[in-house]
């Protein structure tokens, strides 16, 4: 049977199969998770005997009345590539199957962001051409889950494992690729990335039904969606009219000359289409369509980059994020597997308060209360005018540092300074920091990013200086400061680092 035939067999609705078939993630070049039982599953005729062979293991089972079958291979060690053979009425032979570390990469556009795009493309990492040319890393492999919306949990998904090379890496998730490249070099084992992403989507889309039903307060999610569907056809018509008006303005500006056109394109508002019953913004729909089909594939953990679409409702995000993590862990059935995420970078959002992304970052940080979690701080490597910063190399490296420390026991610095406490001394505040190893350093001629407030709760820029593992802050006109904030705006100046070059996490001492 040809590879194309095997792929088509895998991708057809499993309920329609009379022959043995495998779940979507099982294709040539797959990476299986090492050092833990490995689930292998699929469909067959009810009552059919199915045999699964890999290396020196052979497992047999009988398909259930609904045609489902599954086995669990005993924990595997990395080694030479091998064939995975599944047989019943027919035989499927998957080639070049390796054993190593498997990470799910999920979230919205900054995780979807590719390694390479043509010049000017929104998705094009720094030094993209050079990165592609150097991408000879056969230990790194990538499975892109085709985007799909589902109203109910689905068993099917489209995609295939591909081996990293200059011919393939351009379409990899950039954050995931740079993470995997680092980890493969440090660990010396294959690293597989399952890329399940969709730009512009809120966290509610990625939550399963159990998570959304886990708190009475989450009822607002379904109500908000139901309200959004009211008058949907009228909203679609209004959107079409608005887009037509924009196109007319663009045509007139083009006729008036390049300067007029450039001014229009820079300043006109984006007109997002109204949500529809098939939109990826619908609650549960991306968990159902793009995460559920992956279950219970053996994984080491999850890399998550999302939050931009929830910034205007950041007060909800802490509870939603915690519930989503718990929901994924419960659904996977692997316990509290590592869940690492990227804290939002600096970006000028246009929010009049300038604080929405600060609130979302805080909500992300508060989820660190869950066990086996980690957060890569990126407050220093964003682009104030670009919601899709291109330095994905450093994002991946920082995630790899966290995973190296927390998951694989690799020594060395792995995070930046964290706020511990603050004490008042007259007109100054002394901020005590956990440096993350080494000492505190300032990037720039002066230590930037600090504000203080007195009892009036009005924050003003503060001067700051490092003294050992503390920062002393004060501001003219604030004789008795009571609160301090650091990097607490959407696009702050953030100058506090440790001597490993890792940035301090944004913080505030108040709860105003």
Reported as a single tens digit per residue, the pLDDT across 262-319 is 888 777 887 878 888 789 999 999 999 999 999 999 999 999 999 999 999 999 999 9
Residues 182, 321, single domain; the answer is yes
Structural domain harbouring 426: 418-508
The answer to the question of residue 27 being in a domain is: no
Q: Where are the alpha helices (DSSP H) in 257-306?
A: 258-267, 285-286
105 shares its domain with 164: yes
Which DSSP symbol is given to 311? G
Residue 99 has φ and ψ, to the nearest 5°, of -120, 130
| Domain annotation covers residue 39 | no
User: Using N-to-C axis directions, what is the helix angle for 392-406 and 174-187, rounded to 10°?
Assistant: 40
> Are residues 339 and 443 located together in one domain of the fold?
no
Judge whether 84 and 105 are in contact, CB under 8 Å: no
3-state SS track over 461-500: ECEEEEECCEEEEECCCCCCCCEEEECCCCCCCCCEEECC
Average pLDDT of the chain? 94
In a domain, 2, yes or no: no
**Mean pLDDT confidence for 113-121:** 94
Which two three-digit tokens encode residue 290?
């793009």
Judged against a pLDDT cut of 70, whether residue 415 lies above it is answered with: yes
459 and 365 both lie in a single domain: no
pLDDT at residue 11, as a whole number: 41
Asked whether residue 31 is assigned to any structural domain, the reply reads no
Residue 34 lies in a domain: no
Choose the final residue of a domain: 229, 260, 283.
283
Residues 368 and 472 in one domain: no
In a domain, 71, yes or no: no
Last residue of one domain, picked from the residues 233, 254, 283: 283
Residue 431 and residue 473 in one domain: yes
How many angstroms separate the Cα of 31 from the Cα of each of 38, 253, 355, 375?
A: 11, 52, 42, 25
Phi then psi dihedrals of residue 170, to 5 deg: -55, -30
Are 344 and 361 in a shared domain? yes
Share of the chain above pLDDT 90, in %: 88
Give the pLDDT score at 4: 39
Q: How many domains does the chain have?
A: 3
Based on the domain organization, do 396 and 313 belong to the same domain? yes
365: left (phi over 0), alpha (psi -120 to 50) or beta: alpha
| Spacing of C-alpha 449 from chain mean position | 26
CA angle 438, 442, 447 (to 5 degrees): 140
pLDDT of residue 262: 81
Cis peptide leading into 410, omega within 30 of 0? no
Among 295, 306, 288, smallest CA distance to 147 is for 288
Residue 220 shares a structural domain with residue 111? no
- pTM recorded for the entire structure: 0.92
Q: Could you tell me whether strands 450-453 and 507-508 are parallel, antiparallel, or unpaired per DSSP bridges? A: unpaired
Q: How far apart are CA 387 and CA 395, in angstroms?
A: 14
If pLDDT is split at 50, 70 and 90, which confidence band does 16 have? Answer: very low
Residues 303 and 408 in one domain: yes
**Cβ distance 198 to 112 under 8 Å?**
yes
Contacts of 78 (CB under 8 A, 6+ apart): 34, 98, 99, 100, 189, 190
Cβ-count burial 340-363 (b if 16+ within 10 Å, e if not): bbbbbbbbbbeeeeebbbbbbbbb
Asked if residue 7 has pLDDT above 90, the reply is no
Asked if the structure places residue 489 within a domain, the reply is: yes
- Same domain? For 461 and 498 the reply is yes
Residue 350's domain is classified under what CATH number? 3.40.50.1110
Q: Are residues 392 and 460 in the same domain?
A: no
pLDDT at 278: 86
Question: Does the residue 222 lie in any domain?
Answer: yes
């Amino acid at each position: 049977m040809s590879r194309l035939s095997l792929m088509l067999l895998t991708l057809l609705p499993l309920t329609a199969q009379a022959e043995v078939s495998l779940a979507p993630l099982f294709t040539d070049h797959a990476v299986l998770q090492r050092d833990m039982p490995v689930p292998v599953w699929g469909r067959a005729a009810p009552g059919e005997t199915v045999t699964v062979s890999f290396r020196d293991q052979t497992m047999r089972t009988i398909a259930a009345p609904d045609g489902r079958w599954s086995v669990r291979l005993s924990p595997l060690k990395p080694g030479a590539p091998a064939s995975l053979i599944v047989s019943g009425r027919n035989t499927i032979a998957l080639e070049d199957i390796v054993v190593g570390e498997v990470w799910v990469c999920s979230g919205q556009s900054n995780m979807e962001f590719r390694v390479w795009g043509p010049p000017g493309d929104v998705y094009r990492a720094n030094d993209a051409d050079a990165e592609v040319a150097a991408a000879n890393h056969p230990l790194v492999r990538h499975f892109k889950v085709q985007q799909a919306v589902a109203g109910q949990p689905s068993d099917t998904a489209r995609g295939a494992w591909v081996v990293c090379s200059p011919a393939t890496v351009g379409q990899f998730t950039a954050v995931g690729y740079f993470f995997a490249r680092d980890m493969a070099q440090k660990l010396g084992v294959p690293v597989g990335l399952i890329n399940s992403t969709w730009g512009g989507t809120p966290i509610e889309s990625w939550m399963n039904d159990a998570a959304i039903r886990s708190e009475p307060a989450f009822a607002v999610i379904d109500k908000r969606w139901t309200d959004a569907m009211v008058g949907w056809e009228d909203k679609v018509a209004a959107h079409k009219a608005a887009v037509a008006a924009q196109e007319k303005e663009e045509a007139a500006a083009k006729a008036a000359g390049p300067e007029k056109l450039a001014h229009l394109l820079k300043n006109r508002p984006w007109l997002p289409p109204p949500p529809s019953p098939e939109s990826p913004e619908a609650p549960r729909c991306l968990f159902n369509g793009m995460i559920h089909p992956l279950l219970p594939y053996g994984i080491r953990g999850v890399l998550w980059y999302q939050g931009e679409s929830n910034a205007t409702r950041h007060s909800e995000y802490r509870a939603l994020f915690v519930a989503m993590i718990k929901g994924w862990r419960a659904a996977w059935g692997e316990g509290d597997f590592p869940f690492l995420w990227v804290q939002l970078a600096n970006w000028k959002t246009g929010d009049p308060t300038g604080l929405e992304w600060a609130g979302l970052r805080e909500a992300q940080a508060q989820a660190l209360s869950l066990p086996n979690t980690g957060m890569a701080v990126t407050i220093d490597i964003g682009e104030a005018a670009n919601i899709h910063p291109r330095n994905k190399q450093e994002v991946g490296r920082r995630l790899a540092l966290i995973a190296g420390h927390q998951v694989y026991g690799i020594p060395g610095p792995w995070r930046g300074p964290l706020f511990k406490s603050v004490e008042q001394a007259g007109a100054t505040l002394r901020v005590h920091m956990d440096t993350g190893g080494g000492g505190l350093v300032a990037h720039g001629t002066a230590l930037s990013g600090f504000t203080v407030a007195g009892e009036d709760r009005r924050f003003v820029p503060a001067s700051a200086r490092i003294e050992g593992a503390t920062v002393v802050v004060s501001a003219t006109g604030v004789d008795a400061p009571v609160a301090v904030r650091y990097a607490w705006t959407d696009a702050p100046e953030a100058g506090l680092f440790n001597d490993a070059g890792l940035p301090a996490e944004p913080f505030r001492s108040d709860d105003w």
